[in-house]
Chains A and B, each alone.
Chain A
Amino acid sequence: MNASEITKKYYRADKLPHIWCPGCGHGTLLNTVVRAIDKLGLNKDDVCIVSGIGCSSRASGYLDFNTLHTTHGRALAFATGIKHANPKLHVIVITGDGDASAIGGNHLIHAARRNIDITTICFNNNIYGMTGGQYSPTTPIGDFATTAPYGNIDKPFDLCNLAQGAGASYVGRGTAYHAQLMQKLIENGIQNKGFSFVEGLSLCPTYYGRKNKKGSAVKMHTFLKDHCVDKKIVDKKPEMAENKIIIGELYNNQKPEYTDNYKVIIDKFHNY
């Protein structure tokens, strides 16, 4: 399907153009979500997109599925209710670094712990963009933000490690530059029966880029291109990991899934 067919089929064209700034990585990442859904041939009526609050979370409004734009940090809690109540729905959460790991960090680790069949896609731009450039739990040490005028002293999260440690059964990292990889990771995540976490490294030329003198959006994309290395390569040549961000499929391990486990209880006790 070409771009205009994709747009016609999956986007709410009357809600475009989107609110994202020129050069922002979110548009590319959203497109990888849509293309993954298209590739898997999911029925639009069975897909539910849930988002929280922030730049990333505006994504839900642009897509022609069952869409739920929730409160800050709580997307996964709403999504858990939806999936548990109706396991037939494909529930996909689109969230951001602050939404998923600061205000929503507790919901992230518990959704991962339950291994409930939800695919979480985190657009990580290392900053709070919607509120104008405050540091987030993924802002690197030493970087600047409006609330870190003297440099950030908070140690950042590795979101993929966090999700894996908490119990996710599928974890991957792509970027706004590595769009094909990102799409493949999302496809795998949706197909995984369990909690999947796919981090998409995005970029914010408006706030993070400007505050930290990262140059143009093109330059920031080039940075992603030059500083990421696929886990498959690192597995063969560990020295390639030096000073690099590791992308690709990071963890894939089938485990019992929450709604399946609950179905066992219902099948055993349902008698009214």
Chain B
Amino acid sequence: MSNKEYKLLQGNEACVEGAIAAGMRFFAGYPITPSTEIAELSAQKLPKYGGKFIQMEDELSSMAAIIGASLTGIKSMTATSGPGFSLMQENLGYACITEVPCVVANVQRGGPSTGLPTSPAQGDVMQAKWGTHGDHPVIALTPNSVQETYEITITAFNLAEKYRTPVILLMDETVGHMREKLILKDPSEIKVINRKKPTCKPEDYVAYRADEDLIPPMASFGEGYRYHVTGLTHDETGFPTNNNEISGKLIERLNNKVEKNIGEMSYYEEYELEDAEIVIVAFGGVSRSAKSAIDEMRRNGKKVGLFRPITIWPILEKQINKISEKSKEIYVAEMNLGQYFLEVDRIAGKKCPVNKICKVTGELITPNEIINAIYGGK
């Protein structure tokens, strides 16, 4: 593969290219618009790499199958959209508490329920964080272009492997279905992280004893390290416990391994932000509308900039805080009724006004709608 190789691809297809480059060799999924191309291309490509594809009977089992595959040491993923993402929540929680690396792409469409299957939305921001019950770590990443989908999918696998936790690729229909130029990277340019394995003898292996980095080394089933995995709250041996102190410590460690390493997973873009008095916060497809709106407003002398979180979860508290100290006003533009807004307002609301620009019609917010909202405020 030469580093100049490029293709016109959909975001969904770029996701598969990235996943395979990151080492994905197992995909289980269930067809659902607008994510199906991810399954289709995985079905086509994986056997060529000696990998496995399976179309499961539903999204519950798809999520279960990728966890099972990952336990044998194979990097795995699934892809879905809102209704399927709802069904995956059960085993997403299981992957969190059992610390099994995997990647879940959710190409968001209009909801709730069956909603608008072929239309874009960003209504799963909060579901990505709180969809499964209990306090648990979540890493969710949102690309805004075909190229970035490719690259951020590789990052998603790397984070999943490094932190032993599911990583959600929170895409939207706009990015999933748009076709753009993708420049494929040479494998030598791609940084691939693999999960930490035990170095001790099997008889000395304590499956859930974390190292100083809060992450336990992970053995694969079939390697001689026979251990127990359960969704019940467990002690460091991996067996169920009702001990209150141990239970509390487990949940704290699971969350801390992400929260304390937030600096290692804070991806974002700043556009025309240096002297901006008004800051638009937007992500995914909407961030592209925001950039066009900013170009237009800058031509008219208005000092507007964009803060684009690529890491949606954990929340980029430090960066949002910094913006609130510098700017006069913040606008959060998103294809929902104000989900990410809640977080921005919580962090920035005491220092500057935070407004929302929302749209749930199943269409991408246009640059004009952003411009009108901002001028309307003056």
Contacts and interface: CB of A to CB of B under 8 A. Distances in A.
A44 B56 CA distance: 29
Could you tell me the dominant secondary structure of chain A's interface residues?
Answer: helix
Contacts of B239: 15, 61
B117 to A, nearest CB: 22
Interface stretch (A72-80, A185-193, A226-234): A72-80
Contacts of B67: 78, 81
Interface in A241-258: none
A85 B72 contact: yes
A71 to B, nearest CB: 5
B65 A66 contact: no
Interface stretch (B221-229, B331-339, B347-355): B221-229
B227 A81 contact: no
Q: In this complex, which of A44, A60, A84 has the most chain B Cβ atoms within 10 angstroms of its Cβ?
A: A84
Interface string A84-101: 111011000000000000
Interface in B194-252: 221-224, 226-232, 239-240
Given A69-B228, A69-B231, A269-B47, A84 B222 contact: no
A81 B58 contact: no
Interface in B29-74: 47-50, 52, 54, 56-58, 60-62, 64-74
Contacts of B74: 85-86
Contact of A81 (B49, B68, B231, B232): B68
Contact of A46 (B58, B71, B222): B222
A85 B26 contact: yes
Could you say which interface size class chain B belongs to? 35 or more
Contacts of B180: none
B222 A89 contact: yes
A77 B61 contact: yes
A44 B203 CA distance: 14
Interface string A37-67: 0000000111010100000000011001111
Nearest to A270: B50
Contacts of A69: 228-232
B90 interface: yes
B94 interface: yes
A81 B76 contact: yes
Closest 8 CB pairs of A and B: A81-B68, A81-B65, A77-B61, A77-B64, A85-B69, A69-B230, A66-B221, A86-B72
Interface of B: 26, 28, 47-50, 52, 54, 56-58, 60-62, 64-74, 76, 90-91, 94, 221-224, 226-232, 239-240
Interface of A: 12, 15, 44-46, 48, 50, 60-61, 64-71, 74, 76-86, 88-89, 106-107, 110, 262, 265-266, 268-272
14 contacts: A64-B226, A66-B221, A78-B68, A80-B61, A80-B65, A81-B26, A81-B64, A82-B69, A89-B222, A107-B61, A265-B47, A270-B48, A270-B50, A272-B49
